[in-house]
Structure 1
Amino acid sequence: MIELKDVDLRTDPAAQRYIKDETVAVEFAAGDGELMSLEGPNRYLRGDALITGSTGERWVVSRDRFDAKYVPAEPSLAHGAPGPYRNRPAIVLAKQMDAPFSIARSAAGDVLRGTAGDWVMQYAPGDYGVVQALRFAKVYRRAD
């Protein structure tokens, strides 16, 4: 398994720019805990967003990142209330991997794992994710 460290997809010629387009179901954590995603553990704090994607996968987004990245999908939904949300269109860098790999979500963060064909994502310097190939094909499109 390849252990990715100090990755910067901005300088990787195999990385491409993609945009996510998805409506997700959101709950907000009542206390601290851990959610097991397909790629590995996601620890969360009270108030963080517990997200279920359109393809059934679950993951965690810290509250400050959630507030910046998601908007209510229905006009009647107050921001911060549980319910459907859409991601704000944002370009991310992604690279499809040809071997099993692991990467920390952030410095000293949870370690995520992917298999050959899955995608390593870079949302910002030092901010990473892993998306399974089937899910990636359903919710991401090339930005270029």
Structure 2
Amino acid sequence: MQQLTDIDLREDPAAARYVKEEQVQVMFAANAGELESREGPNRYRVGDAIVTGATGDRWVVSRERFDPKYVALAPSAHGEDGPYRNKPVPVLARRMEEAFSIARSDGGDMLHGKPGDWLMQYAPGDYGITEQARFAAVYRRLPD
């Protein structure tokens, strides 16, 4: 398995910009804990968002990252449990041809991808992994 470190998809010709279009269900954590996602552990703190996507996948978004990236849908107000939609913020992504792992952030949870999964870069040093079927269902490529 390839261990990725110091990756910057802005400099990778095999990466492209994509945008996610998805309505999700959100529950804000009342206690600290850990959720086991398909790609690995997601530790969370009180107030972090525990997200369930349209494909049934679950993951954690820190409150600092969640607030600027998601908008509440009626009847919920921002900060309440309920339905949300992601804001159409471009991310960099690259389809990986072999198994790989990467830390979500410096010192963060270690995620593991399979051949065909997508390496996501939300910002420098901020990574995720999306399984191929989910990627095809919720992401669309932006023009170059």
Quickly name the TM-score band, shorter chain normalised.
over 0.9
Q: Tell me, what secondary structure is at the counterpart of 1:134? A: helix
The alignment status of 1:102 with 2:101, answered yes or no, reads: yes
- In the alignment, which residue of structure 2 is the partner of 1:35? 35
How many residues align? The count is 143
Q: Which runs of 4 or more aligned residues in structure 1 lie more than 2 Å from their structure 2 counterparts after TM superposition? A: none
| CA deviation vs aligned residue, 1:81-135 (integer Å, no higher than 9, x gap) | 1000000000000000000000000000000000000000000000000000000
- In the alignment, which residue of structure 1 is the partner of 2:126? 127
Alignment of 1:75-86 (within 5 A): 76-86=75-85
Q: Which runs of 5+ in 2 are unaligned?
A: none
The alignment status of 1:10 with 2:10, answered yes or no, reads: yes
CA–CA distance in structure 1, aligned partners of residues 73 and 4 of structure 2: 35
Aligned-residue sequence identity (percent) comes to 63
- In the alignment, which residue of structure 1 is the partner of 2:55? 55
CA–CA distance in structure 2, aligned partners of residues 140 and 100 of structure 1: 21
Instruction: Report the CA distance between 1:22 and its aligned residue.
Output: 0.2
- TM-score of the two chains, using structure 1 as the length reference: 0.98
Task: Tell me the amino acid that sits aligned with residue 63 of structure 1.
Answer: R
- TM-score of the two chains, using structure 2 as the length reference: 0.98
- In the alignment, which residue of structure 1 is the partner of 2:68? 68
Task: Tell me the amino acid that sits aligned with residue 36 of structure 2.
Answer: M
Task: Tell me the amino acid that sits aligned with residue 20 of structure 2.
Answer: K
The alignment status of 1:141 with 2:137, answered yes or no, reads: no
Instruction: Report the CA distance between 1:73 and its aligned residue.
Output: 2.0
| CA deviation vs aligned residue, 1:57-84 (integer Å, no higher than 9, x gap) | 000000111111000122x311011000
CA–CA distance in structure 1, aligned partners of residues 86 and 47 of structure 2: 18
CA–CA distance in structure 2, aligned partners of residues 78 and 21 of structure 1: 20
Task: Tell me the amino acid that sits aligned with residue 81 of structure 1.
Answer: E
Q: Which runs of 5+ in 1 are unaligned?
A: none
